[in-house]
Amino acid sequence: MSKNKEENKQNQIERMLVVVFDNELKAYDGSKALSDLDSEGSISVHAKAVMVKGEDGKITVKQAEDEFPVRTVGGTAVGALIGLLGGPIGLGIGAVTGTYAGFIWDMNRAGVNAEFLDDVSAKLTPGKWAIVADISEEWEPPVDTRMVALGAIVFRDTRHNIEHEQNARDVSAIKADIERLKKEQAKSRTEQKAKIQLKIDNLNKKLHSKIEQAKKSSEQQQAEAKAKVQDLEKKAAKANGEAKAKIEARIDEIKNESKKNKEAFDKWIDEKSVA
């Protein structure tokens, strides 16, 4: 790998992007601008959708990229973020009650935080249009310059692997409870042991369920990374010069990160397996 390619690789940052527009025409102009930047090699667009927020607060997706279809690929980061933006975020994440668990799952899947969502929802009011995208960029000016020229407001948040971190905390908490109950059981009278064992069995079921959920999440992340690589390889085949080098650097970065995440997850599963 050349020195320039290595530098490009190190500078890539994957971000969730939301750009808010006043009307439909500007939103589609903004979508084209992102595609142009992608073609130039200034950024990589992994997934993108144009949407509008209705007067009733409902989000409607008007355009989704065929190569990464939000409508048909469940569980994608962009899909999760769109779902969040259609929810009662304006009330504050802490105010969500009945659907709280679902919102937390979507927030973890999108890799964004509550502050980002509240900032976006304050500007994404009924009647507004927006682009939601999963992108990699070296620096912010290329996107900001194009979008500000269209009178848009740009929001971005660096993607974090919050989902794995939350699963790790949940599993650790459950295993701690199991160990506590086992110690309590060892000191208990015979008639109490059966009741404690029932609690242990229920926690083990919960633990198995949480680990299976984590496995599905890991598989989804691997599938997402594979889709990104395949898309970038198509673009690299058509590119030349510096643009091609940047795309190839992004491909290497995604492959290496995906491999690292898979190895870390496999190690985590071995450590967390139920005895």
Q: What are residue 17's DSSP bridge partners? A: 133, 156
pLDDT above 50: residue 92:
no
Query: pLDDT at residue 62 above 80?
Result: yes
Tokens representing 86 are 């259609």
Q: What is the DSSP letter of 89?
A: G
Side-chain half-sphere of 181: how many Cα atoms within 13 Å? 19
Q: Who contacts 147 (Cβ-Cβ below 8 Å, separation ≥6)?
A: 19, 30, 33, 154
C-alpha atoms less than 13 angstroms from C-alpha of 204 in its C-beta half-sphere: 12
Domain ranges of the chain: 3-159, 163-272
C-alpha 179: how far from chain center = 33
Closest by CA position to 106, among listed 92, 85, 90: 85
Between 146 and 38, whose confidence is greater?
146
Q: Is 151 helix (H, G, I), strand (E, B) or coil?
A: coil
Closest to 161 in 3D by CA, of 261, 68, 259, 229 = 261
How high is the pLDDT of residue 31?
95
Q: State residue 2's pLDDT score.
A: 44
Q: What is the largest CA-CA distance in the chain?
A: 76
User: How far is the C-alpha of 242 from the C-alpha of 221, rounded, in Å?
Assistant: 29
pTM of the model: 0.72
The helix or strand, by DSSP H or E, that contains position 64, with its residue range, turns out to be: strand 59-64
pLDDT for residue 3 is more than 80: no
Q: What digits encode the pLDDT tens for the residues 97-145?
A: 445 556 666 777 777 888 899 999 999 999 999 999 999 898 899 999 9
